[in-house]
Every structure is written in structure tokens, then in C-alpha cells.
Amino acid sequence: MGHTFAQKVLAAKAGLDSIDVGQIVEIEPDVCLSHDNTAAIAKKFASIGVERVKDPDKFVIVLDHTVPASEEKYAQNHKEIRDFVDLNGIDKFYDVGIGICHQVLPEKGFALPGRLILGSDSHTTTYGAYGAFAAGVGRSEMAVLYATSKIWLKTPASFKIVIDGELVEPVGAKDLILHIIGSIGADGALYKSVEYTGEAVEKMTLASRMVLSNMAIEMGAKNGVCFPDDKTKDFLDGRAAGDFEPVFADDDAGYEQVLEYDASTLTPQVAKPHTVDNVSPVGDVAGTPIHQGLLGTCTNGRIEDLRMAAKILDGRKVAKGVRLLVLPASQEILLEALSEGIIDTLVRAGALMLNPGCGPCLGAHQGVLAPGEACISTANRNFKGRMGSREAETYLGSPATVAASVVTGVITDPREFF
């Protein structure tokens, strides 16, 4: 029997010819990511008793969660991170305003096919869209990586998700992944390596594939990969920070499950409060009043998402009593949206533009919800209290669903605008 993507990558990084599912291996990742939690990790690292980070060139640090600092404790946190970066000679440091880490790493060429990327953030799985084995680890594990550049990983079993057909606009990758998570469950792929394949995935843009990989963690997966192709190579041309060798699963690889979906029959989907797997067609909740719409985050803050929203909002206005927050995933995307006139369209419609960052997604600042308020969001989580008050409600949907809903003031099927 052949080997899965996870088996092949982890075997290569462990210096072994092959490994079995469940085997624990000692590996050295190619890239390690941390963000605003670096200050806490640095304190754990200091307790180990090692004076300096072993291999500073492996580490990428991005300030993105509460940027710019909203109060003194966050400002102090950022200061400690800047001091830590300077002390240890970490050159791959991206300060406030550059973007969300999960967008910045691909843009700067660190998310490469065949690479092993570990990050102290659960949505590190995003880089699987570029053919990397990318997974989240805890702060203690990251502190040990600072000290040793090595970690133990258990080789996950694999799911193969085959998606046939083609998405029909305005249905997008967000609708697809919500549907998959709803069918599998929030722990349905617990510690599995998910391989997304099929005609629909091949036709997707890299940005859409990032949505699938980003939200693999929301079904419990260790990683979620889309195999690289010419689109991947074209994006990385002139960006790649080093050489890379794509890794593909063997045709006769062994999977714990093979799941099949037809993208062509999919309708817009919504995840209802307060779990990501509480999914239904948008029609089931259509008419639900909203107070806020959030367009952006590491899941859907890319240029194609802003274009979709602008297409719906062009010549229209955000409904009275509704706030639309827009935060592009990076400075690069913001500049592209400016040059295309997208920002002008969104602002004229009544949107409030925010700097690239994570603030409202995790309820840190720039859009916290009050008790009794409801938000339709393109983010990846809708847990109770995630965006502020535990008495607020967050619905998850696609950029098209968010844009349509803020126009009407209630959750709306975006197909009404097409």
C-alpha cells in the first residue's frame, strides 16, 4: 500500500524512508510561526534556561491580533515582542499593519509545497493550500522549538475529501467548507490529515483553497492540504523564500475515510450560533435581523472576497442600524483593493474600513458585540463570546452572504442579487 501526504512529509522531515500511521517521530520544521502570543512564549522559553533562540532564521513573527494596540497591556506586549526579536536576531518580523499572519506567510514566500510549518495558532492549517503540511501547536511546544528547533509529532491517519463539480456563483469556498464541517462535525476529523481533491478543488483559486485549509481545524483536523499545481507555481514565482519540492499522496495510499461531495449542487450555507458545525442552508435562517456584518479575517479577507462584496454593494447602501466592518487580510490586499476602486465602492456603501488585522474576529477590539446583538461574519468561529458579549450571536457565511445581508438588514440569500 502507498503512503499518504502526511506520511511522506513527516517521514522526509524525520529522515526516514517511511513511517506508519500513529508513529511518533522527531522532526525539525522548516518554518515556525508565532504572533502576538510571542511575548507569552518568550517567557516560557526563558524558563527553559537557554539564552538564545537556536535557529532564528526558522521563525516568523507577525503582530496581527490586537493591532494597533488598543490599551496599555497590548502595547506592552508588543514592546516585549520587539525586544525579544531584536535580542535574538529574528529578521522575519512583521510589525503592525503588514497583515494577518496566515496571509503574510504566503505573500512573503514562506508557505511552500512540501514544507513542514508549525505555528502557535490553530489556523496555521491555512498553508496547506500551498501544499505544505501545516499545523498548530501550543505555546509550550513553540517555546521548545525556540530552544531546540525540534519537536515530536504523531503521524495522523488521513481523510480524502473528493469534491466534484464546480461552485456556481455566488456560492463560494466558504459555503463548501461550512457544508463539509456540518456533515462531518466539529470533531469528525479529529487529528486527521485531510487531503482536499477533485475537480472543484482543481478549479479553485488559491484564495479559495485557503478557505478550505484554514477551516480544516474546525472539524478537528491536524492539517488540511490542497495539492500544488500551476496556479501554485505561478503565485510563488518571484515570492518563494527558498527551494521547494512538492509532495503528493500515492495513488494507492490508505485512507481512514474517503468522503465525496458535489459542489455544483451546493447552495449558500450559514453556521448558526454557537458552533461551526451548526450548519444549514441560508434559507433556514433568512430574515434573521443583524446588527453587524464582518467582511475579512484570515478566512475571507482576500481580494476575491472584497470583489464579491463590492459587486453586491455597488450602488447600494448598508441598511440603517447595521454596521459593516471590512478588514483586508494584508497591506498588499488593501493596496490592490484601493487600486481597483473596491475600497471606494465599499466606503460609499457605508462600510467602515479597518486596518489589516484580527481585532473583531476574536473580540479584541474594533467591533466587539453588545448583549443581544447579532453579527453575520466571514470569520471561522462563532463560539459564544467569541466576538464580545456571551449574550451576542455570530452567524458565519460567505462574503456574498455578508454583503447581501448588510444591504437588507437581515440574513439574506445572496442569490437574490444575481
DSSP string, 96-149: TTSB-HHHHHHHTT---TT-EEEESSGGGGGGGGGT-EEEE--HHHHHHHHHHS
Averaged pLDDT, 184-197: 97
Distance CA 130, CA 164 (A): 20
Who's near 326: CB < 8 A, 6+ residues apart?
295, 296, 306, 309, 346, 351, 352, 353, 354
Q: Which of 215, 230, 261 is the last residue of a domain?
A: 261
CATH classification of the domain holding 280 = 3.30.499.10
3-state secondary structure of 377: strand
Q: Which of 261, 293, 328 is the last residue of a domain?
A: 261
Binning pLDDT at 50, 70 and 90, where does residue 112 land? very high
Instruction: Please tell me whether residues 68 and 200 are part of one structural domain.
Output: yes
Q: What's the number of domains the chain is made of?
A: 2
Q: Take residue 264 and report the three cell numbers written for it.
A: 455544483
Which pLDDT tens digit goes with each residue over 32-57? 999 999 999 999 999 999 989 999 99
Averaged pLDDT, 61-83: 95
pLDDT of 250 over the 90 cut: yes
Q: List phi, psi (to 5°) of 269.
A: -120, 155
Which pLDDT tens digit goes with each residue over 117-160? 999 999 999 999 999 999 999 999 999 999 999 999 999 999 99
Instruction: Please tell me whether residues 275 and 242 are part of one structural domain.
Output: no
Distance CA 229, CA 330 (A): 24
Distance CA 386, CA 392 (A): 9
For residue 145, what pLDDT is reported? 97
Give me the percent of the chain exceeding a pLDDT of 70.
100
Alpha-carbon distance values, 237 to 240, 246, 330, 401 (Å) = 6, 14, 19, 33
Distance CA 60, CA 43 (A): 17
Q: Take residue 32 and report the three cell numbers written for it.
A: 515556525
Instruction: Please tell me whether residues 282 and 237 are part of one structural domain.
Output: no
For residue 359, what pLDDT is reported? 86
- Other CB atoms within a 10 A radius of the CB of residue 389 amount to 15
Q: Which of 206, 239, 261 is the last residue of a domain?
A: 261
Instruction: Please tell me whether residues 219 and 160 are part of one structural domain.
Output: yes
pLDDT of 167 over the 90 cut: yes
Alpha-carbon distance values, 142 to 39, 49, 119, 122, 263 (Å) = 12, 15, 7, 13, 38
Averaged pLDDT, 96-114: 97
Instruction: Please tell me whether residues 278 and 200 are part of one structural domain.
Output: no
Averaged pLDDT, 239-248: 96
pLDDT of 204 over the 90 cut: yes
Cβ atoms 262, 170 nearer than 8 A: no
Distance CA 384, CA 54 (A): 39
What mean pLDDT, rounded, does the chain reach? 97
Who's near 71: CB < 8 A, 6+ residues apart?
none
Instruction: Please tell me whether residues 351 and 280 are part of one structural domain.
Output: yes
Residue 93 is inside which H or E element, if any? Answer: strand 93-94
HEC letters along 294-325: EEEHHHHCCHHHHHHHHHHHCCCCCCCCCEEE
Which pLDDT tens digit goes with each residue over 313-343? 999 999 999 999 999 999 999 999 999 999 9
Instruction: Please tell me whether residues 283 and 244 are part of one structural domain.
Output: no
For residue 310, how far is the Cα from the chain centroid? 22
Instruction: Please tell me whether residues 189 and 137 are part of one structural domain.
Output: yes
Distance CA 284, CA 242 (A): 48
In the block, cell 487600486 appears at 339
Domain that holds residue 365: 269-417
Instruction: Please tell me whether residues 210 and 283 are part of one structural domain.
Output: no
Q: Where would I find the H helices in 341-398?
A: 342-349
Instruction: Please tell me whether residues 355 and 274 are part of one structural domain.
Output: yes
Instruction: Please tell me whether residues 211 and 228 are part of one structural domain.
Output: yes
* Global model pTM greater than 0.75: yes
Instruction: Please tell me whether residues 292 and 352 are part of one structural domain.
Output: yes
For residue 273, what pLDDT is reported? 96
Who's near 298: CB < 8 A, 6+ residues apart?
100, 101, 102, 103, 123, 126, 214, 329, 358, 361, 380
Who's near 286: CB < 8 A, 6+ residues apart?
410, 411, 412, 413
Binning pLDDT at 50, 70 and 90, where does residue 286 land? very high
Angle at 413 between CA 262 and CA 378, to 5 degrees: 80
Q: Take residue 8 and report the three cell numbers written for it.
A: 511522506
pLDDT of 280 over the 90 cut: yes
Who's near 97: CB < 8 A, 6+ residues apart?
67, 68, 331, 355, 356
For residue 361, what pLDDT is reported? 87
Q: How many CA atoms lie less than 13 Å away from 240 in the CB half-sphere?
A: 17
